[in-house]
Amino acid sequence: MTTLTSDNAHNPVADGEKVLGPNDNAYQDPTHRAPLVVGKHNFTTITETVTDLNLRKTPRAWYIAFAISNCLLLMFLYCIYELITKGVGVWGNNNPVAWGFPIVNFVFWVGIGHAGTLISAILFLFRQNWRTSINRFAEAMTIFAVCCAGAFPALHVGRPWLAYWLFPIPNQMGMWPQFRSPLLWDVFAVNTYATVSLLFWYVGMIPDLATLRDRCKNKIGQFLYGLFSLGWTGSSRHWHRYEKAYLLLAALATPLVLSVHSVVSFDFATSQLPGWHTTIFPPYFVAGAVFGGFAMVVTLAVPARQWFGLKDFITMRHLENMNKIILATGMIVSYAYITEFFTAWYSGHHFEQFVFLNRPFGPYSWAFFTMVFCNVCAPQLFWFKKCRTSIPVMMFVAMCVNVGMWFERFVIVTTSLHRDFLPSSWDMFVPTKIDIMMFIGSFGLFFTLFLLFCRFLPMVAMAEVKNVTPQAHAHHDHDEHHEGGQH
Partner 1 sequence: MTEQETTQSPDAGKASTAGKLTGGKLCIPAVGAIGALVPAIILAAVGNYGLTRFMFAYIIAFAFFLSISLGALFFVCIQHISRAAWSVTSRRVAEVLAMTMPVMAIAFLPIAANVWLGGGDVYPWAASHAHHAPAQGEEHADTTHTTDDHAPAADHAEPATGHASLTARDEYAPDEKKAAHAADTASVVHAAPAQEVVVDESHTEPAVTLDGHRHIPGVIDPHTEEIYTAKKAAYLNVPFFIARWVIYFAVWIGLSFTFWKKSVEQDTTGDVQLTRFMERLSPLAIVLFAVTVTYATFDLIMSLSPAWFSTIFGVYYFAGCMLSIFAVLILVLSFLRNKGIIDKDTVSKEHLHDHGKFLFGFVVFWAYIAFSQYMLIWYASLPETTFWFVARGATTVSADFNSWSIVSIAMIFCNFFIPFIGLMSRHIKRTNATLQFWAVWLLVFHWVDLWWLIMPEMSVSLKVGLVEILTMVGLGGLFVAGAVWVGSLNAIVPQKDPRMTESLAFKNM
- Going by C-beta distance under 8 Å and a sequence separation of 6 or more, which residues neighbour residue 96? 417, 418, 419, 420, 425, 426, 427, 429
Closest distance of CB 252 from partner 1, Å: 13
* 246-250: long-range pairs with CB below 8 Å, 24+: 246/1, 246/124, 246/203, 246/204, 247/2, 247/3, 247/124, 249/121, 249/196, 249/199, 249/200, 249/203, 250/120, 250/121, 250/124, 250/125, 250/200
Q: Which is nearer to partner 1, 305 or 482 (CB)?
A: 482
List interacting residues with partner 1 (CB under 8 A). Answer: 2-3, 5-6, 8-9, 11-12, 14, 16-18, 28-31, 33, 126, 255, 258, 262, 266, 269-272, 277-283, 327-328, 331, 335-336, 339-340, 343, 346-351, 354, 383, 421-423
Report d(CA 115, CA 348) in Å as an integer: 37
Nearer to partner 1, 277 or 481 (CB): 277
Distance CA 91, CA 105 (A): 13
Specify the amino acid at residue 283.
P
Of 4 and 134, nearer to partner 1 (C-beta) is: 4
Give the max Cα distance, the chain.
Answer: 81
d(CA 95, CA 417): 9
* Residue placing its CB nearer to partner 1 in the complex, 29 or 479: 29
d(CA 133, CA 312): 10
If the CB atoms of residues 215 and 324 are measured against partner 1, the closer one turns out to be 324
Q: Which is nearer to partner 1, 8 or 236 (CB)?
A: 8
CB of 295 to partner 1, least distance (A): 19
Q: Least distance (Å) from partner 1 to the CB of residue 302?
A: 23
Q: How far is the CB of 248 from partner 1 (least distance, A)?
A: 12
The CB-of-31 to partner 1 minimum distance in angstroms stands at: 4
Closer residue to partner 1, CB minimum distance, 154 or 331:
331
Least separation in angstroms between residue 231's CB and partner 1 is: 27
In angstroms, give the least distance from the CB of 283 to partner 1. Answer: 6
Distance of CA 410 to the CA centre of its chain: 19
The C-alpha atoms of residue 315 and residue 34 are separated, in whole angstroms, by: 11
